[in-house]
Amino acid sequence: MVLAELGSKISRALQQMSNATLIDEAVLNACLKEIGNALMQADVKVDLVIGLRGNIKKRVNMEEMAAGLNKRKIIEKAVFDELCGLLDAGTEGAKFSLKKGKPNVVMFVGLQGSGKTTTCTKYAYHYKKEGYKPALVCADTFRAGAFDQLKQNATKAGCPFYGSYTVTDPATIAKQGVDRFKEDGRDLVIVDTSGRHKQEAALFEEMREVSEAVRPDLIIFVMDGSIGQAAYDQAKAFKDMVEVGAVILTKLDGHAKGGGALSAVSATKSPVIFIGTGEHIDEFEEFETKRFVSRLLG
């Protein structure tokens, strides 16, 4: 998997630095260049790579560093922290937590094919196991078959669902579904919205209308983790239209280069909360920055 390749390239760059008899400015520069190249090959945006290299150099000041200090350890730590920083970019304290017993309304947005419907179900299933009472609302009236897909998924997850074959206004259905489930005492109401095919004005307008109708506590942006360089702009476009509060990356089991993840976080200033690692309902992992980076670096 290419994500692992990124990790091994970075680890190799650090190893080569460690092998040098003397770690000086030139050795550090060579190491940072390797790391930068690896990140860019993994589709991390150039600006972010430049920023990361600059930050590491600032932290590891070769001239001022006393002799005898373990430079290797200090550099490794700086690289680790900066990679975590890329994934946490501006998201400190932004993590939303569900409140048990309260009617939490969570709306999902993202492009068609990103894995949104699958992810809604995984999310419902995850919290069901934690004792919540989730319910799913299908507000996608654009794609034929969307409601059937959600119904099928909801049944798999053992969750009630709401949708309509006849109502064509997504905001109306969303509101009806949310109201119904709130009355039923459901404490996690998940609203799946349309994704259309591409970022287009009609999609964003619809998202805004649904959001105004149901007033979600959290809006989750679902992104295909394998889309590479396009990730930054796509994520930014969504963030500009609705209050995205968290990101879920899907398809990190396949050939995802992973760099898109770093760019999406930076674009939305929102934390990645879960990753999808397969098509099945339980192929879903809670995302933890430090663990992700540790694993990346092996």
**Binding flag, residue 112, ligand GDP (CB under 6 A):** yes
How many other C-beta atoms lie within 10 A of the C-beta of residue 255?
Answer: 11
Instruction: Name which of 15 and 199 has its Cβ closer to ligand GDP.
Output: 199
Q: Which of the 8 DSSP states describes residue 81?
A: H
Tokens of 193: 């919205």
Q: Which stretch binds ligand GDP (CB under 6 A): 4-12, 203-211, 274-282, 288-296?
A: 274-282
Instruction: Name which of 71 and 118 has its Cβ closer to ligand GDP.
Output: 118
Closest distance of CB 143 from ligand GDP, Å: 7
Which residue has the closest beta carbon to ligand GDP?
276
Look at strands 104-109 and 218-224 and give their pairing: parallel
- Nearest-5° angle of CA 260, CA 31, CA 270? 25
Closest distance of CB 242 from ligand GDP, Å: 16
Among 116, 133, 175, 257, binds ligand GDP (CB under 6 A): 116
Using CA atoms, how far residue 266 sits from 84, 88, 90, 262, 289, in Å, is: 12, 8, 8, 6, 14
* Distance (Å, whole) CA 288 – CA 166: 41
Radius of gyration from C-alpha coordinates of the chain: 21
Q: Which stretch binds ligand GDP (CB under 6 A): 5-13, 29-37, 110-118, 209-217?
A: 110-118
Pinpoint the alpha helices (H) of 215-276: 231-241, 259-268
**Binding flag, residue 253, ligand GDP (CB under 6 A):** yes
Q: Which residues between 154 and 173 bind ligand GDP (CB under 6 A)?
A: none
Q: Which of 212, 200, 145 is nearest to 174 (CA)?
A: 212
Closest distance of CB 140 from ligand GDP, Å: 8
State the sign of the Cα–Cα–Cα–Cα dihedral 108, 111, 117, 119: negative
Among 7, 36, 103, 115, binds ligand GDP (CB under 6 A): 115
Closest distance of CB 267 from ligand GDP, Å: 19
Among 103, 163, 195, 260, binds ligand GDP (CB under 6 A): 195
**Binding flag, residue 194, ligand GDP (CB under 6 A):** no
* Distance (Å, whole) CA 140 – CA 111: 12
Dihedral angle at the C-alpha atoms of 209, 215, 219, 222, nearest 10 degrees? -40
Q: Which of 155, 95, 99, 92 is nearest to 127 (CA)?
A: 99
Among 3, 13, 87, 118, binds ligand GDP (CB under 6 A): 118
Q: Which stretch binds ligand GDP (CB under 6 A): 22-30, 113-121, 183-191, 207-215?
A: 113-121
Element (H, E) at 36: helix 25-41
Among 279, 282, 286, 288, binds ligand GDP (CB under 6 A): 279
Closest distance of CB 124 from ligand GDP, Å: 13
Closest distance of CB 114 from ligand GDP, Å: 4
Among 139, 277, 287, 292, binds ligand GDP (CB under 6 A): 277
Instruction: Name which of 133 and 251 has its Cβ closer to ligand GDP.
Output: 251
Instruction: Using CB under 6 A, list all residues that contact ligand GDP.
Output: 110, 112-118, 195, 250-251, 253-254, 276-279
